[in-house]
Structure 1
Amino acid sequence: MAEAVEYLDSQMQKEELNTTFMEWKYKSITYHQPFVVNNFFSDINALIKKHFSPHIVAEIHKQMCESVLYKCEKLSLEDANNFDNDQMDQKDELGSDQEEVNNIEDHYDYRQTYLKALLNSVSGKSIKEIWRITPYMIPSSYQHIVTFEDGTHMCTCLLLVSHGIICRHYFKLVVENSNALFHLLLMPTRWLQDDAWNHVDTIFNEPFIGTSSKKLK
């Protein structure tokens, strides 16, 4: 019984530390928010403020601001198919419990699916590009993004699937890769403002927006 109580107390301490870390993280990033949003995503920002509620816009801004913490690396389809490293249990990357507490950032970027599982779920002909997105500060942690010919994408963080918000990893790719574009309808229509269906044609006709200065291929 004593061991169970000790274990629960340890878990509660970790949860409290994680909550404190996330609060600090967002406060720190919010401080730089106007610079990141206005300098990298000004056109996208104007569009989302026009069609989404302030709450959803704020959530998107968080992802935009965190995107500057990552770097991108393009993978060939062959390299992606041969990539096995993310098949391991991600907890193994952390080691001891003490190391786990000291590296809460790793938990924040857990992969929610494997790259191979993602590739096996789609047609190879529909794939346009495959990218690895890695935090500058934690190179052992990474996500993979697969972009498709129809302009959609999937990230192994699955934030778009689980929360309906485009992730920081894709926003990083939008900045670095001119083939990665944003469109309102990449996100669920439930986030659109209440009067959206009164001008649905306008929404469908909104352009795909990019931020990269690199030449389109």
Structure 2
Amino acid sequence: MIKKGTNDLILKVVFTDSDPAMANAISLEFPDTIHCLCIFHIDLNLKKNLRNKLKSDEFKAFREEFFHCRNTLISTLFENRWEHLKLKYPSAGNYIRKQLDPLKYKWAVCYTNNQFTAGANSIQRVESLNHKIHDCVRSNSSLLTLVKEIQYVLDKKSEYARVEEYKDQIPIVGLATIPKAYFKSIEKVVSEFLMPAMVFLVCKQMQECFYYDSFKMDVAIIDSIIQEQTNTDYNEGMREDNYEVVKVHLTDIISKIGLDQILEIWRLVISCGTKTHYVILLVDGSHCCTCNLLITHEYLCRHFYKILRCSTQAKWHIGFIASRWYKDDIIDGNNDIWQQSPITLCINSNQEQNNDQYSMYKFDYIKQIHGAEFYNQNLREINCT
């Protein structure tokens, strides 16, 4: 049904529970699709299958160590902790080896943090909708009752959207004025290209960039910088759900891009806080950040907007934001986005912004991240019919 409705559009990432039949269907129908497991259902299954095998305190300790292991950013460290966990809890060993071990590439952060996920780690939104419908629909309910309930849910969503639209029309002074005041040229392009909901999210990142202090680091001491970031453990829930913690380790970033591609490294610390992130500027005009927003959400983060105002080497381009977030008329225009000129906000007196200066920037790393555009020609034709 999905393939028919999208004219064989390849799904990029799919989240499901650990149902073997579903996993088998995905591997057969969408062999190139990344299949991730819902962490909410993994937790439910831990409670269902191991709570009786382990004592109460032992199960609590096991669950904490499992999620500590699951949140590990470095794959080698994850594997060491995972082996230690299996040895420490022999009573859970059979379940771990049969149910969790073969699927660890689908739920461990170190293996899933290089994919677009829009910040998702579970299917709870769908489960929530199913729960609402299940509560009001019985075995003797009519189809009309089901339609009315679904329509009620849709009406509530529509009402929320209207309220948000009204709020956006109210003149306000404060953070909301930052994009026009400090990122005027970028805000103009963003408003032209992106869907309204995405304009709000992108401008929110611009606003929040002023919460951070930035420090330029010496690329020559990259090893010591990596060493400083070694302690990235997170034990307070799901790593993806915490807005401020590191989502990808510097070691992984550098292993993918190569040391020779690094132009500048910037350290960012939230004002009056201790949370630290790093932004790396690349020689091809691209960049990457340890918050990983560019990969998981496919738009630019607050840390980069801070550096954009500090470094003459930082470049902004509308192509950094994936085309999935563009307006329909922009997509239907079928224009080459990369023909747009990049924007620099921090310019020395000896610099001028011109097209010749930017002809050297290929943005290969960004193009590699986005891969094949999700809104392809087949889907455009379907959308127009």
TM-score, normalisation: structure 2: 0.43
Q: 1:87 maps to what in 2? A: 230
**1:90/1:110 contact within 8 Å kept:** no
Q: CA deviation at 1:213?
A: 4.3
- 1:120 and 2:255 are equivalent in the alignment: yes
> Per-residue displacement from partner, 1:159-182 (whole Å, max 9, x unpaired)?
111111210000001111121111
Equivalent of 1:175 in 309, 312, 330: 309
Q: Take 2:343 and 2:210, find their aligned partners in 1: how far apart are those partners? A: 18
- 1:150 and 2:281 are equivalent in the alignment: no
Q: Take 1:90 and 1:47, find their aligned partners in 2: how far apart are those partners? A: 38
Higher relative contact order (CA 8 A, sep 6+): 1
Equivalent of 2:327 in 167, 186, 193: 193
Partner of 2:335: helix, strand, or coil? helix
Equivalent of 1:32 in 145, 164, 174: 174
Q: Take 2:300 and 2:212, find their aligned partners in 1: how far apart are those partners? A: 15
Partner of 2:180: helix, strand, or coil? helix
Q: 2:207 maps to what in 1? A: 65
Partner of 1:164: helix, strand, or coil? coil
Q: 2:340 maps to what in 1? A: 206
Identity of aligned residues (%): 22
**1:80/1:116 contact within 8 Å kept:** no
> Per-residue displacement from partner, 1:2-58 (whole Å, max 9, x unpaired)?
x78xx8xxxxxxxxxxxxxxxxxxxxxx86233311221010000010011100000
Q: Take 1:127 and 1:89, find their aligned partners in 2: how far apart are those partners? A: 22
Q: Take 1:166 and 1:46, find their aligned partners in 2: how far apart are those partners? A: 16
Q: Take 2:215 and 2:342, find their aligned partners in 1: how far apart are those partners? A: 23
Q: CA deviation at 1:149?
A: 1.4
State which drifts further: 185-194 or 116-125. Answer: 116-125
Tell me the C-alpha RMSD between the 2 structures.
2.9
State which drifts further: 52-61 or 118-127. Answer: 118-127
Partner of 2:266: helix, strand, or coil? strand
> Per-residue displacement from partner, 1:63-119 (whole Å, max 9, x unpaired)?
000000111111122222222121114448xxxxxxx8xxxxxx4310011212211
- 1:136 and 2:262 are equivalent in the alignment: no
**1:145/1:153 contact within 8 Å kept:** yes
How many residue pairs match? The answer is: 182
Larger radius of gyration: 2
Q: 5+ unaligned residues in a row in structure 1: which ranges?
A: 8-29, 93-99, 101-106
